[in-house]
Chain A
């Protein structure tokens, strides 16, 4: 059992943050790694990236968007209640190296994952340009936190309600024009956003790391539901990733596989409110 110590609604009814007591995981987890959790006995296993950790108090932080039954259940949990199973750390940590100037791009709740990485990149002395975006102002998360670990921060909204009016990819194009010396890009967010980012960084070429979000069950490499095609080869995102070279990922296949259970996801949600 994994008790919840703190809970925060980051964007009303959409994005939620939980601090969970999981001392062994807190000691080991590195930026880019994730956990799999199961809320209760009848629950499903879902993957969530660890957004932050505090090994001294033995806690990890997860941030999630409420998109279906399990995330809704998770949001309903109160401080002091438990999550039945939390397993991790899983996946390969993101390679954090000093390259000079990097650009970190995050969309929606992807910013939660990006934050942990950006912190790592910033702390070892990279010059960090961060571009974060969401549909509208109320869905922007971690703005202050990102500001503290970036040399430059651009906030975008699709509807122009806050900051730069447009997609993160548009802001990225401008940033590349201004900073031809960008050595590396990291992009985390919905599949269409990552795909569009990679289209931008293809010419002029900037190595781009993406964090993939396929369906997972066990998260330990035993089932292959999270398989993705990278550079023409099948990879398991849970053990070989979730980070991959964005220029080599088959995003269309990923998007297609993500739709496998759309019907049943809806059915499950409707059944739970009946």
Chain B
């Protein structure tokens, strides 16, 4: 399953902590893993997408307490430049053992930063837990705002949750009002840079997690690296995370792989298109992968 990257194990999992689940996007895996890692000293801080100056506009933040982590629960469907804090975390914050959550492109940036630390002195060895979240595409804030306010006719200040699933973009509010639009409508708002991305399930993370594949309230979790495996198993043992086998889970890995294949195939085609091989008069656009 090359589209899903290399992994040691895959689980259907959720948090063992009701407080985390109350506001988590899915199974609360990200918040639980970081909370466990903070409590036990595996990390001394985590870079997460915290609340920003406008509703649902994420702002990268360094959480050094479980309370701070709680403020970052839930998916913000807009770009949170989490890597912007990766060096500062080792400077004024004085962290030695950093956790970071990110979309697949951000986890790629973490690994590039570790192997080619051009402007990231002393950062490579200090990243100990990189949690990846599945990602089909992301939206610039202006686009997200328009999707919510114009297309969903919902004031963004009132939104309590957004999610993407089953071909729809959904917004939920306090009063339970639930507005949905077909994903087709959202395509023009996608961040163009997402269209060259060849990774759906954060193949280079220590642990990756997302909603697709498992029932509501649960997460699909890939445990990938040795560091990820050690931390995940301990979190399960300590009761922070409840992990079950993926066998027989519907819709299961099949759907994850189908979506990963669709994303990567579509974006590979776009990369080929950018090469302008069919148009002798057009120069190729730049390809970062060659």
Are A and B bound to each other? Answer: no
